[in-house]
Structure 1
Amino acid sequence: MSHPAKKRVLQKYRKEYSEKFPVLTTSKLGEHFTYCTLCSVDVNVGHGGISDIQRHIDSKKHRTNAEATKGKPLTSYFTTTSDVSVINAEVSFTEFIIEHSIPLSVADHCGKLFKKMFPDSQIAQKYACGRTKTSYIVDTLGKDSQKRILNSIRESPFSMATDGSTDYEDVKLYPVCVRYFDPKEGQVMSVLLSLTECAKPSTGENIFLLLQNEMDKFEIPWKNLVCFSADNASVMLGKVKGVSAFLQKKTPSLYVAGCPCHLMHIAAERASKHLPVKIDDLLIDIFYHLEKSSKRKQSFKAHQEKTGAPPHKILKHVSTRWLSLGHCIARLLEQWDALLSFFTEEVAKEKTTNKKHVEQGSSLSKPASLTPMSDTTAVKQKSAVLPCTKRPMTEGGNPAKNKKQKSLSCLPGSKKPVTSSAKPSKKKDIATSQCQDTSSSQKATNKEHAELGFSLSKAPP
C-alpha cells in the first residue's frame, strides 16, 4: 500500500534578512526570492532561507563587490582647506621644472621620491603630480602670466623686440619679447609674450603684419609702444621696406634701436683684424690640442698647479654663437701663464725628438761600401740613363717617320737617323746635339765624384 508524497514547504523572504544584511531587499520575482543591491542579482531563499543568503554573502562575486565599495567617499575628492599646502607644493615644483628647463617626464618619478625622502611629511605623502597634471599646471601658469603681462602693457609704455628662429625643421618662428616696468614687482621685466609662426616669406612687410596681428589679438594700444629693437639686418631696420619703417608709419614717435651686442661684436671683430694673430683660430687650436689627448690634459693640469692658475678647462669657441667669444677670451687670459709654461715644455720636447730623428737618419744614409771607380766608368754610367728630351728630326725639319729609331739618336755612340730613302741627313740632328751637350756638361760633375772614389750608382742599404 503506497503512501501519498509529502507536500514541500518553501521558505519565504523575511524582514529580518534585511536587518542583518542591509544589501538585501524584496525581489520582483516573488516572496521566495530576495534582491542583492550590491551584486544586482536575485537570490533564491525558498530552499534554505538564511543558509541560502549566507552562501551568497560568502561567494567570490559578492566579496569582490564589497571590497570595491570600501573606497574613499565622494567628498574626499573635493578640495578642502587642508589640501592647499599640497597644491602649493605641486605648483612650486612645476615652476622649478620650468625655470631650469627640466623635462616634464621627471614629474612621473618625483612623487615616489618625495614620499621616500620625507616619510614623516603629510604633504609628501599626499603629493600626486605626474606628467599629465604637471602639463596642465604649466598651461594654467602660462595663461596667468600672460594675463598679468597684458594688463601691464595695456596701461603703461613698453618696448618690443623680435628675431627669426629656425630651430624646428623649416618652420620660421618669431618670438615677441616685451620689456616693461611692473609696479607689483618694482622692477623692469623682460619677458616672452608669444611665439608665432610665419607661414609667408620673411619679408619686412610680412613680419610687420605678424606683429600687427599680435597687437590686435591682445588688444594692445599702439601708442604704448615706444621702442622697437632688432638685429641690424636690412629686413628689420631697412628705411623703406624694413619692419621698422612700417612700424614708424603706425607710430611716428617710435624709437628704433639696433642690437647693441651685435654692434659691439662687429666693432671688436674689425679691431681684431689688426692683431698679429687670429683670435678665433687661436682659441679653436688650443682647445682641440688639449681636448683630444688625456696625456696633454694631465700635463696642463700639472702646469696649472705649478703656476697657481684655477683648475678650469679651456672653453670651446663656436663661430655660430658669437656671444661665446668673450667668455673664451676671458678664460684664455685667466690660464695664460699655465698655457705659456705648458707650450714651452711641449716645444722643448718636440725639438729633442726631432734631433734624435735627424741623428738616426744621418746614420742610415751612409753608404755600406765605398768602391773606387775610374773616370770613364762614372761618365758611362751617368750618361746611359739620361732621358731623351725631343724626338729626332729628319730632313726638312719634320719628325722621324720610322718609329723604331725615334729615341736611339739620344744615346751616346748611336748613329744618325736614316730616312726611308736611305740617304744620310746633311743637317746635324738637333736632338742628338742636345743630348751630347747634356752629356758633356755632366762629364765635369761626374769627374769630380770619380776623383773622390765614390760609386754614385750604389744605393745605401
Structure 2
Amino acid sequence: MASKKATTIIEKFVTKKKEPDPKDKVHKAELLLTAYMAEHDMPFSQAEHLFPLLKKMFPECDVAQKMTLKKTKASYVMQDGIAWEESHEIAKICQENKFSLLIDESTDVSVSQILAVVVRFFDSKKAKVTDALLDVVEVDDGSADSLYKAVKGLLEEKNIPLCNIIWFASDNCSAMLGSINGFQALLKKDVPSVFVLECICHSFALCASHACAQLPSYLGQFLRDICCYFSRSSKRLHQFQLIQDIIHTPKHRMLKLSQTRWLSRGKVISRILEQWDALLLFFQEMKTESVKLNGAAEIYSDEKSRHKTHAIISKLCSK
C-alpha cells in the first residue's frame, strides 16, 4: 500500500509529454514550405507540382501524404497567415517604440499605384537596427496629399501614434520632399520634430550626372560602344577571352551603361580600366582585319598619332 501511495505522489510531480497533434505537424510543414517559396521568389503555381512530388518521394511519411497545399491555399497562407502575423508584430513594436519611416510609390503589373511603407526600428530581441515592410497600400494617385492620407490612415488603422516617427526618408521628387505641399511638409505639420533626409543615392546620382555633363559627349558614347561591340558577337567575345588568357587578365565581361541604374557609370569605367591592356591589344590585332572592320587600320593610325587611345576603341566599336 505504501508503494502505491508513493507512486501516486511521484506521478503528480511528473508531467507526461503530450504527443503533438498530427494535424499540427501537417500545418507546420505547409507553413514552412510556403515561407520557403516566398523567401526564394518561387511562384505559388509551383505548389501544384511540388507537393504531389513530395508525396511520391516520401510515401512512408504521414505528414507528406496529408498535405493538401496548392497555389490557392499557399497564397492564402502567405497573405492572410504569415504576412498578417508579421505585420501585426511589426505594428506592435511601432506602437511602443520610436521608429523611422521610409516610403516609395510605384506602379504594379495591373497598372495600379501602390505605396510601400517601410519602418526602421531597434529590435531588442536581435539587438540591432532592423528594416521591415509594414504594409503595401494602393493609392488613387501619386500626389502628396493622396500619399499622406494613405500613410496616415494606415498608421491609425494599426493604432501607431504619429508622434513615434522620428525620421522620414524617400526619393527626391517634389511630391515627397516639396517644402510647401510635399509629403514631408504635411508630416511636419503633425510631427514638427521629425527629421527629414533626402535619398543619398539619388543625390549622388544627380551630382555624377551633372559632373559628366561637363565632359565631352563622345566619352559617354565610348562607354556604351564598348559593351555593345562585344554583346553582338560571340566570336568577338571569344577572341577577347583568348587575349585575357594571354596577358592574365580576369575574365570579366564589359558592363552595360544604364541610365536607370544609379552610379552604374563608375562600375563601367572601373571595368574598362581593369581590362584596358586587354582591350588595347585586342583592337591592335583587329586593326589588320580591315575587311571585317571598315577602315580599322586607318582609324587606329590616325587616332594613335593624336594620343587619343580612348577614341580608337570608340570608333572601332562603331564600325
Q: Does residue 69 of structure 2 align to residue 129 of structure 1?
A: yes
* Alpha carbons 1:272, 1:278 under 8 Å: kept: no
Equivalent residue, structure 2, for 1:252:
192
| Distance in structure 2 (CA, Å) of the matches to 1:97 and 1:158 | 30
Aligned pairs, number: 279
Alpha-carbon distance, 1:125 to partner: 4.4
Alpha-carbon distance, 1:311 to partner: 2.9
Q: Does residue 276 of structure 2 align to residue 344 of structure 1?
A: no
SS in 2 for 1:164: strand
| Distance in structure 2 (CA, Å) of the matches to 1:207 and 1:185 | 32
* Structure 2 CA distance for partners of 1:340 and 1:277, relative to 1, 3 Å: farther
* Alpha carbons 1:226, 1:254 under 8 Å: kept: yes
Equivalent residue, structure 2, for 1:168:
109
Equivalent residue, structure 2, for 1:293:
233
Alpha-carbon distance, 1:258 to partner: 0.2
Equivalent residue, structure 2, for 1:186:
127
SS in 1 for 2:105: coil
SS in 1 for 2:118: strand
Q: TM-score scaled to structure 2, two decimals?
A: 0.76
* Alpha carbons 1:272, 1:279 under 8 Å: kept: no
| RMSD across aligned positions (CA) | 2.9
Q: Does residue 45 of structure 2 align to residue 105 of structure 1?
A: yes
Alpha-carbon distance, 1:227 to partner: 0.7
The one-letter amino acid of 2:162's match is W
Among residues 238, 241, 246, which one is paired with 1:306 in the alignment?
A: 246
* Alpha carbons 2:140, 2:146 under 8 Å: kept: no
Question: Which residues of structure 2 form unaligned runs of 5+?
Answer: 1-18, 299-319
The one-letter amino acid of 1:155's match is E
Alpha-carbon distance, 1:223 to partner: 1.1
Alpha-carbon distance, 1:208 to partner: 1.8
Q: Which structure 2 residues correspond to residues 340-419 of structure 1 after superposition, within 5 A? A: 340-350=280-290
SS in 2 for 1:308: coil
Equivalent residue, structure 2, for 1:152:
93
| Distance in structure 2 (CA, Å) of the matches to 1:199 and 1:353 | 55
| Distance in structure 2 (CA, Å) of the matches to 1:276 and 1:193 | 46
| Distance in structure 1 (CA, Å) of the matches to 2:86 and 2:55 | 31
* Alpha carbons 2:55, 2:65 under 8 Å: kept: yes
Q: Which structure 2 residues correspond to residues 440-451 of structure 1 after superposition, within 5 A? A: none
Q: Which structure 2 residues correspond to residues 191-206 of structure 1 after superposition, within 5 A? A: 191-200=132-141, 202-206=142-146
Equivalent residue, structure 1, for 2:84:
143
Q: Per-residue displacement from partner, 1:222-270 (whole Å, max 9, x unpaired)? A: 1110011111222221211111111111011010100011111112223
Question: Which residues of structure 1 form unaligned runs of 5+?
Answer: 1-78, 359-461
| Distance in structure 1 (CA, Å) of the matches to 2:183 and 2:265 | 29
Q: Per-residue displacement from partner, 1:265-284 (whole Å, max 9, x unpaired)? A: 11222333444566643332
Higher relative contact order (CA 8 A, sep 6+): 2
| Distance in structure 2 (CA, Å) of the matches to 1:262 and 1:342 | 37
| Distance in structure 1 (CA, Å) of the matches to 2:62 and 2:39 | 26
More helix by share: 2
Q: Per-residue displacement from partner, 1:194-239 (whole Å, max 9, x unpaired)? A: 2222214x33223222222112111111111001111122222121
| Distance in structure 2 (CA, Å) of the matches to 1:293 and 1:127 | 50
* Structure 2 CA distance for partners of 1:352 and 1:291, relative to 1, 3 Å: closer
Q: Does residue 124 of structure 2 align to residue 223 of structure 1?
A: no
* Structure 2 CA distance for partners of 1:286 and 1:153, relative to 1, 3 Å: same
SS in 2 for 1:174: strand
SS in 2 for 1:319: coil
| Distance in structure 2 (CA, Å) of the matches to 1:278 and 1:90 | 57
| Distance in structure 1 (CA, Å) of the matches to 2:143 and 2:167 | 20
Q: Does residue 288 of structure 2 align to residue 335 of structure 1?
A: no
* Structure 2 CA distance for partners of 1:313 and 1:94, relative to 1, 3 Å: farther
Equivalent residue, structure 1, for 2:16:
none
The one-letter amino acid of 1:186's match is A
| Distance in structure 2 (CA, Å) of the matches to 1:324 and 1:122 | 52
Among residues 292, 299, 317, which one is paired with 2:257 in the alignment?
A: 317
Q: TM-score scaled to structure 1, two decimals?
A: 0.55
| Distance in structure 2 (CA, Å) of the matches to 1:329 and 1:169 | 37
The one-letter amino acid of 1:180's match is F
| Distance in structure 2 (CA, Å) of the matches to 1:121 and 1:127 | 11
Alpha-carbon distance, 1:86 to partner: 3.9
Percent of residue pairs identical: 35
* Alpha carbons 2:102, 2:170 under 8 Å: kept: yes
* Alpha carbons 2:107, 2:113 under 8 Å: kept: yes
The one-letter amino acid of 2:138's match is E
Alpha-carbon distance, 1:327 to partner: 4.3
Q: Does residue 209 of structure 2 align to residue 269 of structure 1?
A: yes
* Alpha carbons 2:287, 2:297 under 8 Å: kept: no
The one-letter amino acid of 1:227's match is W
